[in-house]
RNA sequence: GUCCCCAUCGUCUAGUGGUUAGGACAUCGCCCUUUCACGGCGGUAACCGGGGUUCAAGUCCCCGUGGGGACGCCA
């Protein structure tokens, strides 16, 4: 049987990190098994579903490179099908109308809670015919009362829940629209889903859904419930609490491959391996290797991973993503060195593309102020003479490339009998405005001859005026 | 409250009855070094508690404790 998995988000917000990981696992498993990965949008809650959320989810999937073979399929397009099934359930006695008002149900729940028992619908409408024609009603699934539901979770093992814990859930609202537990089952059947991989907040829904499968005479898929992701502080991630959308990671300067690598290692592992190409992930992924315990999101490790990717990934590739940040920060790239050169120069000093962009600014734009601390430390009286000597030597460098530029700097050191430690820092500050940069030869070459010389001259003037 | 799930360094994890409990991030120290980094070497650091089972338990069982989830005309 060919494997078919699905990722089924509800469009009530952006694609957050937990959802992204679930999507990744579904994708990975389908790819590994040579199966089909389906994207299904669970938008039956018309109150809260928005097009903006749908777009955000699609954008997130795309950015992460999680391509789907079928979909997006929208549940709102399938209402007729759900109605059909609800009617079938009704006809076969697996469902019934319930005329209780929301208030009535609320009261029932309160009473039950007060009596310290689990709130459950008491079937007061079962077997009741319409008390008054035209009265509003919902439709409830008639859950078995005896026995229990047992399923073999692919990551947790055997899970058994007694039917006495379950009640008759609503499968169709007053307005006739279907609810989650019904639509999931109908879709999983119609789409021939073989493996359901989802968050473990759905464990409790699973037995209800299995009962619906049975009532429909269908075989339920295999379930894998993956644990939640906690925040940096160990608390549960939620929209109110640190759960940012995946696109925020793009904005913050992370490479999608790094995010995917980080995500896959959160709850899944293959021995001691930390770095995985997509091919490796696909080849090595296994549901049994998913961890049972929830894991905390650790930004520092993501940063490390991101730097690994910035360093190791093809510069051309990184440049595409870096370009976005330059555009975003309004830096004109045509006004300086090629992005790939900047990447090679800075990749060992940036954990994010965002950082890299900020520290690459002086390659493209002139700065107006020097870093205050460095200014105080380096631009002391007499340093103008060092810079003047550098200027003299650099002006006559024939080929503005690393070796000659380096030679010129060293020549000044010899001439003034100073160590590079005395000459370098002021030069660096003069041309970059900061106390840190790649090595000076590389930095000067990337900044360019004319711009470098002008900046040195400017620094000389500045120091003289200051002291 | 009831039911379900979970539990190894601060964090991500390896570990499937016998290990000096391994790796990675972070952290600390040293080395490299024109700055900042990268890198290299080394260190600190964990089996939630209590009972069993067993010659032997991080690993199996039970009970606590702690955390999470569910109990919606949300998904």
Q: Which nucleotide is nearest to A48 (CA to C1')?
A: B74
Tokens of A237: 């991630």
Tokens of A444: 């000067």
Query: ipTM > 0.90?
Result: yes
Run means of pLDDT, 10 residues per run, chain A, 467 residues: 94 90 96 96 89 94 96 93 95 92 88 86 81 78 92 92 92 93 96 95 93 95 92 64 80 96 95 94 94 92 96 94 94 91 94 94 91 87 89 90 92 88 92 94 94 93 85
How far: A294 CA to B45 C1' (Å)?
A: 22
How far: A238 CA to B68 C1' (Å)?
A: 13
**Straight-line distance from the first to the last Cα atom of chain A, in angstroms, rounded to the nearest whole number:** 81
Instruction: Give pLDDT, residue A291.
Output: 93
Residue A100: closest CA among A132, A72, A130, A125? A125
Catalytic residue among A2, A118, A235, A239: A239
Q: Which nucleotide is nearest to A225 (CA to C1')?
A: B5
Contact between A201 and A229 (Cβ < 8 Å): no
Instruction: Give pLDDT, residue A71.
Output: 79
Residue in this structure with the two tokens 């060992």, named with its chain if needed: A348
What is the C-alpha to C-alpha distance for residues A98 and A366, in angstroms, rounded to an integer?
Answer: 73
Query: pTM of this prediction?
Result: 0.92
Contact between A222 and A194 (Cβ < 8 Å): yes
Sign of CA dihedral A271, A277, A280, A281: positive
Instruction: Give pLDDT, residue A372.
Output: 87
Q: Nearest residue to B70, CA vs C1'? A: A204
What is the C-alpha to C-alpha distance for residues A412 and A183, in angstroms, rounded to an integer?
Answer: 77
Instruction: Give pLDDT, residue A382.
Output: 86
Q: Which nucleotide is nearest to A294 (CA to C1')?
A: B6
What is the C-alpha to C-alpha distance for residues A75 and A56, in angstroms, rounded to an integer?
Answer: 18
- A385-423: string of b/e by CB count within 10 Å (b at 16+)? ebbbbbbebbeebeebeeebbbebbebbbeeeeeeeeeb
Instruction: Give pLDDT, residue A115.
Output: 84
Q: Which nucleotide is nearest to A170 (CA to C1')?
A: B73
Q: Based on C-alpha coordinates, what's the Rg of chain A?
A: 31
Q: Which nucleotide is nearest to A442 (CA to C1')?
A: B34
What is the C-alpha to C-alpha distance for residues A417 and A268, in angstroms, rounded to an integer?
Answer: 58
How far: A199 CA to B58 C1' (Å)?
A: 27
How far: A18 CA to B27 C1' (Å)?
A: 28
How far: A354 CA to B53 C1' (Å)?
A: 57
How far: A150 CA to B21 C1' (Å)?
A: 35
User: Any residues with CB less than 8 A from the CB of A256 and at least 6 apart, and which?
Assistant: A63, A64, A65, A250, A321
Residue A387: closest CA among A462, A465, A443, A437? A462
Instruction: Give pLDDT, residue A130.
Output: 64
Q: Nearest residue to B8, CA vs C1'? A: A293
Instruction: Give pLDDT, residue A46.
Output: 85
Nucleotides of B under 7 A from a protein CB: 1-8, 10-15, 22-26, 34-38, 67-75
Q: What is the 3-state secondary structure (H, E, C) of chain A?
A: CCCEEEECCCCCCCCEHHHHHHHHHHHHHHHHCCCEEEEEECCCCCCCCCHHHHHHHHHHHHHHCCCCCEEEEEHHHHHHHHHHHHHHHHHCCCEEEECCCHHHHHHHHHHHHHCCCCCCCCCCCCCCCCCCCCCCCEEEECCCCCCEEEEEECCCEEEEEEHHHCCCCEEECCCCCECHHHHHHHHHHHCCCCEEEEEHHHHHHHHHHHHHHHHCCCCCCEEEEECCEECCCCCECECCEECCEHHHHHHCCCCHHHHHHHHHHCCECCCCCCCCCHHHHHHHCCHHHECCCCEECCHHHHHHHHHHHHHHCCHHHHHHHHHHHHHHCCCCHHHCCCHHHHHHHHHHHCCCHHHHHHHHHHHHCCCCCCCHHHHHHHCCCCHHHHHHHHHHHHHCCCCCCHHHHHHHHHHHHHHHCCCHHHHHHHHHHHHHCCCCCCCHHHHHHHHCHHHHHHHHHHHHHHHHHHC
Contact between A400 and A448 (Cβ < 8 Å): yes
A239 is catalytic: yes
Contact between A43 and A270 (Cβ < 8 Å): no
């Amino acid at each position: 049987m060919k494997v078919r998995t699905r990722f089924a988000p509800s469009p009530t917000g952006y694609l957050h990190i937990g959802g992204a990981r679930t999507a990744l696992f579904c994708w990975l498993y389908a790819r590994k098994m040579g199966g089909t990965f389906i994207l299904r949008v669970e938008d039956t809650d018309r109150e809260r579903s928005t097009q903006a959320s749908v777009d955000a989810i699609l954008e997130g999937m795309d950015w992460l490179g999680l391509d789907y073979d079928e979909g997006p399929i929208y549940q709102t397009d399938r209402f007729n099908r759900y109605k059909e099934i609800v009617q079938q359930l009704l006809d076969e006695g697996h469902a019934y109308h319930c005329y209780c008002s929301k208030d009535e149900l609320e009261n029932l729940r309160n009473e039950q809670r007060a009596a310290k028992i689990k709130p459950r619908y008491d079937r007061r409408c079962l077997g009741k015919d319409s008390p008054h024609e035209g009265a509003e009603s919902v439709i409830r699934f008639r859950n078995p009362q005896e026995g229990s539901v047992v399923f073999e979770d692919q990551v947790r093992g055997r899970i058994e829940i007694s039917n006495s814990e379950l009640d008759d859930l609503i499968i169709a609202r007053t307005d006739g629209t279907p609810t989650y537990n019904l639509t999931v089952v109908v879709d999983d059947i119609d789409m021939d889903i073989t493996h359901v991989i989802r968050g473990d907040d759905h464990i409790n829904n699973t037995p209800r859904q299995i009962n619906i499968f049975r009532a429909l005479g269908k075989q339920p898929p295999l379930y894998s419930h993956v644990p939640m992701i906690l925040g940096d502080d160990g608390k549960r991630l939620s929209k109110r609490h640190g759960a940012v959308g995946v696109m925020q990671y793009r904005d913050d300067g992370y490479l999608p491959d790094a995010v995917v690598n980080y995500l896959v290692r959160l709850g899944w592992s293959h021995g001691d391996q930390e770095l995985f190409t997509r091919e490796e992930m696909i080849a090595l992924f296994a549901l049994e290797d998913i961890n049972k315990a929830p894991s905390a999101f650790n930004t520092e490790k993501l940063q490390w991973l991101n730097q690994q990717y910035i360093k190791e990934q093809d510069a051309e590739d990184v440049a595409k993503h870096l370009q976005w940040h330059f555009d975003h920060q309004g830096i004109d790239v045509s006004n300086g060195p090629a992005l790939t050169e900047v990447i090679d120069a800075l990749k060992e000093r940036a954990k994010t593309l965002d950082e890299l962009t900020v520290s690459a600014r002086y390659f493209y734009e002139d700065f107006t102020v020097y870093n205050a601390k460095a200014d105080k430390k380096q631009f002391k009286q007499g340093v103008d003479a060092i810079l003047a000597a550098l200027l003299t030597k650099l002006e006559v460098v024939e080929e503005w490339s690393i070796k000659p530029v380096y030679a010129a700097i060293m020549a000044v050191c010899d001439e003034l009998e100073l160590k590079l430690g005395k000459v370098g820092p002021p030069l660096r500050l003069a041309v970059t405005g900061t106390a840190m940069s790649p090595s000076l030869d590389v930095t000067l070459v990337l900044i360019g001859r004319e711009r470098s010389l002008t900046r040195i001259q400017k620094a000389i003037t500045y120091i003289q005026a200051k002291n």
